[in-house]
Amino acid sequence: MKKPLLLGHRGFSGLYPENTPLAFMKVADTGADGIETDVHICKSGELVLCHDERVDRTSNGHGFIKDFTYDELLELDFGSWKDPAFAGQRIWTLGELLDFCKEAGLMLNLELKNGIEFYPELERRSAEEIRKRHMEDTVFVSSFNHVSMQRFKELAPEIETGLLYESPLQNMAHYLDGCSADNVHPCWHVFEYQPELMELFHSRGMKVNVWTVNDESAARFLLGLGVDGLIGNYPDLLCRAAGR
Protein backbone atom coordinates (compact mmCIF):
# COMPACT_ATOMS: atom_id res chain seq x y z
CA MET A 1 0.00 0.00 0.00
CA LYS A 2 1.38 3.41 -0.94
CA LYS A 3 2.12 5.94 1.76
CA PRO A 4 -0.78 8.43 1.93
CA LEU A 5 -0.48 12.10 2.81
CA LEU A 6 -2.01 12.72 6.26
CA LEU A 7 -3.10 16.27 7.10
CA GLY A 8 -4.60 17.89 10.18
CA HIS A 9 -7.82 19.65 9.20
CA ARG A 10 -7.52 23.28 10.39
CA GLY A 11 -4.63 21.93 12.41
CA PHE A 12 -5.32 19.42 15.19
CA SER A 13 -8.84 20.85 15.41
CA GLY A 14 -10.40 17.86 17.15
CA LEU A 15 -8.65 18.69 20.42
CA TYR A 16 -7.48 22.29 20.00
CA PRO A 17 -9.06 25.53 18.73
CA GLU A 18 -9.04 25.34 14.95
CA ASN A 19 -6.67 27.41 12.81
CA THR A 20 -4.71 28.68 15.81
CA PRO A 21 -0.96 28.46 16.46
CA LEU A 22 -1.58 25.77 19.07
CA ALA A 23 -3.64 23.60 16.71
CA PHE A 24 -0.98 23.94 14.01
CA MET A 25 1.92 23.14 16.31
CA LYS A 26 0.21 20.08 17.78
CA VAL A 27 0.04 18.45 14.33
CA ALA A 28 3.82 18.20 14.34
CA ASP A 29 3.64 15.98 17.45
CA THR A 30 1.44 13.34 15.82
CA GLY A 31 3.64 12.11 12.98
CA ALA A 32 1.23 13.44 10.35
CA ASP A 33 2.62 14.99 7.17
CA GLY A 34 1.10 18.43 7.40
CA ILE A 35 -1.73 20.86 7.83
CA GLU A 36 -4.87 21.96 6.00
CA THR A 37 -6.03 25.53 6.61
CA ASP A 38 -8.09 28.40 5.17
CA VAL A 39 -7.03 31.88 4.03
CA HIS A 40 -8.85 35.23 3.79
CA ILE A 41 -7.79 38.85 3.30
CA CYS A 42 -8.55 41.29 6.11
CA LYS A 43 -9.26 45.02 5.83
CA SER A 44 -5.63 46.09 6.17
CA GLY A 45 -4.50 43.63 3.49
CA GLU A 46 -2.93 40.79 5.47
CA LEU A 47 -3.63 37.20 4.48
CA VAL A 48 -5.10 35.62 7.62
CA LEU A 49 -6.10 32.07 8.58
CA CYS A 50 -9.69 31.35 9.58
CA HIS A 51 -12.34 28.98 8.24
CA ASP A 52 -15.43 31.18 8.38
CA GLU A 53 -15.91 34.51 6.67
CA ARG A 54 -16.99 35.85 10.06
CA VAL A 55 -15.11 35.65 13.36
CA ASP A 56 -18.23 35.03 15.48
CA ARG A 57 -18.01 31.22 15.82
CA THR A 58 -14.32 30.92 16.68
CA SER A 59 -13.54 34.12 18.60
CA ASN A 60 -15.01 36.60 21.04
CA GLY A 61 -15.57 39.09 18.21
CA HIS A 62 -18.39 39.73 15.77
CA GLY A 63 -18.32 40.56 12.08
CA PHE A 64 -16.66 39.76 8.78
CA ILE A 65 -12.90 39.30 8.53
CA LYS A 66 -12.85 41.73 5.61
CA ASP A 67 -14.06 44.48 7.96
CA PHE A 68 -11.25 44.02 10.54
CA THR A 69 -7.72 45.34 10.32
CA TYR A 70 -5.07 42.86 11.35
CA ASP A 71 -4.36 44.81 14.51
CA GLU A 72 -8.05 44.56 15.41
CA LEU A 73 -8.02 40.81 14.76
CA LEU A 74 -5.03 40.45 17.08
CA GLU A 75 -7.15 41.83 19.91
CA LEU A 76 -9.58 38.91 19.62
CA ASP A 77 -9.38 35.64 21.55
CA PHE A 78 -9.57 32.66 19.18
CA GLY A 79 -9.19 29.98 21.86
CA SER A 80 -11.77 30.34 24.63
CA TRP A 81 -14.72 29.20 22.49
CA LYS A 82 -13.16 25.70 22.48
CA ASP A 83 -12.19 25.70 26.15
CA PRO A 84 -11.22 28.41 28.67
CA ALA A 85 -7.86 26.63 28.95
CA PHE A 86 -7.06 27.87 25.43
CA ALA A 87 -7.72 31.54 26.16
CA GLY A 88 -5.43 33.95 24.36
CA GLN A 89 -4.91 32.00 21.14
CA ARG A 90 -4.61 34.50 18.29
CA ILE A 91 -5.08 34.52 14.56
CA TRP A 92 -2.01 33.84 12.39
CA THR A 93 -1.06 35.25 9.01
CA LEU A 94 -0.34 32.96 6.09
CA GLY A 95 3.28 34.04 6.25
CA GLU A 96 3.59 32.92 9.86
CA LEU A 97 2.19 29.49 9.07
CA LEU A 98 4.37 29.08 5.98
CA ASP A 99 7.44 29.91 8.04
CA PHE A 100 6.37 27.39 10.71
CA CYS A 101 5.72 24.64 8.15
CA LYS A 102 9.07 25.24 6.48
CA GLU A 103 10.93 25.01 9.77
CA ALA A 104 8.95 21.96 10.94
CA GLY A 105 9.14 20.16 7.59
CA LEU A 106 5.36 20.00 7.17
CA MET A 107 3.25 20.03 4.01
CA LEU A 108 0.49 22.62 3.70
CA ASN A 109 -2.86 22.42 1.93
CA LEU A 110 -4.16 25.97 1.63
CA GLU A 111 -7.87 26.45 0.93
CA LEU A 112 -8.64 29.77 -0.74
CA LYS A 113 -11.86 31.02 0.85
CA ASN A 114 -13.33 32.99 -2.00
CA GLY A 115 -16.81 31.57 -2.33
CA ILE A 116 -18.99 33.66 -0.02
CA GLU A 117 -16.69 36.67 0.09
CA PHE A 118 -14.69 37.25 -3.10
CA TYR A 119 -11.15 38.51 -2.63
CA PRO A 120 -9.93 39.59 -6.09
CA GLU A 121 -6.23 39.36 -5.17
CA LEU A 122 -6.35 36.15 -3.15
CA GLU A 123 -4.88 33.89 -5.84
CA ARG A 124 -2.00 36.21 -6.73
CA ARG A 125 -1.16 37.17 -3.15
CA SER A 126 -1.20 33.56 -1.93
CA ALA A 127 1.08 32.47 -4.76
CA GLU A 128 3.49 35.29 -3.95
CA GLU A 129 3.75 34.23 -0.30
CA ILE A 130 4.49 30.63 -1.33
CA ARG A 131 7.04 31.61 -3.97
CA LYS A 132 8.79 34.09 -1.67
CA ARG A 133 9.70 31.18 0.60
CA HIS A 134 10.47 28.73 -2.24
CA MET A 135 7.79 26.36 -0.99
CA GLU A 136 6.22 25.47 -4.33
CA ASP A 137 6.87 21.76 -3.74
CA THR A 138 5.48 21.61 -0.19
CA VAL A 139 2.31 23.72 -0.53
CA PHE A 140 -0.74 23.00 -2.63
CA VAL A 141 -3.95 24.99 -2.86
CA SER A 142 -7.62 24.07 -3.16
CA SER A 143 -11.02 25.74 -3.33
CA PHE A 144 -14.72 25.08 -3.80
CA ASN A 145 -14.46 27.94 -6.31
CA HIS A 146 -13.13 26.06 -9.32
CA VAL A 147 -12.82 29.23 -11.39
CA SER A 148 -10.44 30.48 -8.72
CA MET A 149 -8.37 27.32 -9.12
CA GLN A 150 -8.23 27.87 -12.87
CA ARG A 151 -6.98 31.42 -12.28
CA PHE A 152 -4.45 30.27 -9.71
CA LYS A 153 -3.06 27.67 -12.12
CA GLU A 154 -2.62 30.32 -14.79
CA LEU A 155 -0.76 32.57 -12.31
CA ALA A 156 1.36 29.82 -10.74
CA PRO A 157 1.50 26.69 -12.92
CA GLU A 158 4.24 25.19 -10.76
CA ILE A 159 1.99 24.99 -7.66
CA GLU A 160 -0.51 22.13 -7.47
CA THR A 161 -4.22 22.91 -7.31
CA GLY A 162 -7.19 20.86 -6.11
CA LEU A 163 -10.93 20.98 -6.74
CA LEU A 164 -12.96 20.79 -3.53
CA TYR A 165 -16.49 19.40 -3.81
CA GLU A 166 -19.02 17.85 -1.46
CA SER A 167 -21.69 15.87 -3.30
CA PRO A 168 -21.65 13.46 -6.28
CA LEU A 169 -21.62 15.24 -9.62
CA GLN A 170 -23.04 14.17 -12.98
CA ASN A 171 -20.59 13.13 -15.73
CA MET A 172 -17.42 13.85 -13.78
CA ALA A 173 -15.18 12.75 -16.67
CA HIS A 174 -16.68 15.44 -18.89
CA TYR A 175 -16.35 18.05 -16.15
CA LEU A 176 -12.67 17.31 -15.71
CA ASP A 177 -12.07 17.91 -19.43
CA GLY A 178 -12.56 21.62 -18.85
CA CYS A 179 -10.35 21.90 -15.74
CA SER A 180 -6.63 22.42 -15.39
CA ALA A 181 -6.44 21.31 -11.75
CA ASP A 182 -3.83 18.80 -10.66
CA ASN A 183 -5.89 17.10 -7.95
CA VAL A 184 -9.40 16.55 -6.63
CA HIS A 185 -10.50 17.05 -3.01
CA PRO A 186 -13.93 15.41 -2.54
CA CYS A 187 -15.80 14.90 0.69
CA TRP A 188 -14.91 11.31 1.60
CA HIS A 189 -18.57 10.23 1.56
CA VAL A 190 -18.56 10.61 -2.23
CA PHE A 191 -16.64 7.32 -2.41
CA GLU A 192 -19.31 5.46 -0.46
CA TYR A 193 -21.61 6.32 -3.37
CA GLN A 194 -19.14 6.31 -6.27
CA PRO A 195 -16.05 4.23 -5.40
CA GLU A 196 -15.30 3.90 -9.12
CA LEU A 197 -14.29 7.56 -9.21
CA MET A 198 -10.92 6.70 -7.66
CA GLU A 199 -9.92 4.89 -10.84
CA LEU A 200 -11.20 7.75 -13.02
CA PHE A 201 -9.22 10.38 -11.13
CA HIS A 202 -6.05 8.34 -11.09
CA SER A 203 -6.38 7.60 -14.80
CA ARG A 204 -6.23 11.37 -15.33
CA GLY A 205 -3.04 11.58 -13.27
CA MET A 206 -4.86 13.40 -10.45
CA LYS A 207 -4.18 12.82 -6.77
CA VAL A 208 -7.22 12.33 -4.54
CA ASN A 209 -7.19 14.04 -1.13
CA VAL A 210 -10.40 13.57 0.87
CA TRP A 211 -11.98 15.38 3.84
CA THR A 212 -13.04 15.28 6.67
CA VAL A 213 -12.07 11.78 7.83
CA ASN A 214 -12.59 11.40 11.59
CA ASP A 215 -13.25 7.66 11.82
CA GLU A 216 -10.62 4.92 11.64
CA SER A 217 -12.85 2.50 9.73
CA ALA A 218 -13.58 5.18 7.13
CA ALA A 219 -9.88 5.91 6.86
CA ARG A 220 -9.08 2.24 6.27
CA PHE A 221 -11.84 1.99 3.66
CA LEU A 222 -10.38 4.95 1.77
CA LEU A 223 -6.83 3.66 2.07
CA GLY A 224 -8.03 0.40 0.58
CA LEU A 225 -9.43 2.29 -2.39
CA GLY A 226 -6.05 3.90 -2.98
CA VAL A 227 -6.66 7.44 -1.76
CA ASP A 228 -3.62 9.73 -1.93
CA GLY A 229 -4.39 11.94 1.06
CA LEU A 230 -6.58 11.99 4.17
CA ILE A 231 -7.58 15.24 5.87
CA GLY A 232 -9.07 14.98 9.34
CA ASN A 233 -9.62 16.76 12.64
CA TYR A 234 -7.61 14.08 14.48
CA PRO A 235 -4.29 13.58 12.68
CA ASP A 236 -3.23 11.05 15.33
CA LEU A 237 -6.24 8.90 14.33
CA LEU A 238 -5.19 9.08 10.68
CA CYS A 239 -1.69 7.98 11.64
CA ARG A 240 -3.07 4.96 13.50
CA ALA A 241 -5.27 3.99 10.58
CA ALA A 242 -2.29 4.23 8.23
CA GLY A 243 -0.12 2.14 10.55
CA ARG A 244 2.36 4.86 11.48
CA 117 to chain CA mean position, Å = 17
Phi-psi region of 44 (alpha: psi -120 to 50; beta: other; left: phi over 0): alpha
Tell me how far apart the alpha carbons of residues 223 and 213 are, in angstroms, rounded to a whole number.
Answer: 11
Q: Does 185 qualify as catalytic in the annotation?
A: no
Neighbouring C-beta atoms of residue 177, cutoff 10 Å: 9
Tell me which of 9, 40, 146, 185 is the catalytic residue.
9
Q: Does 40 qualify as catalytic in the annotation?
A: no
Tell me which of 40, 51, 62, 146 is the catalytic residue.
51
Tell me how far apart the alpha carbons of residues 19 and 91 are, in angstroms, rounded to a whole number.
Answer: 7
The torsion of the CA quartet 58, 62, 64, 67, rounded to 10 degrees, works out to -130
Active-site residues, by number, are: 9, 51
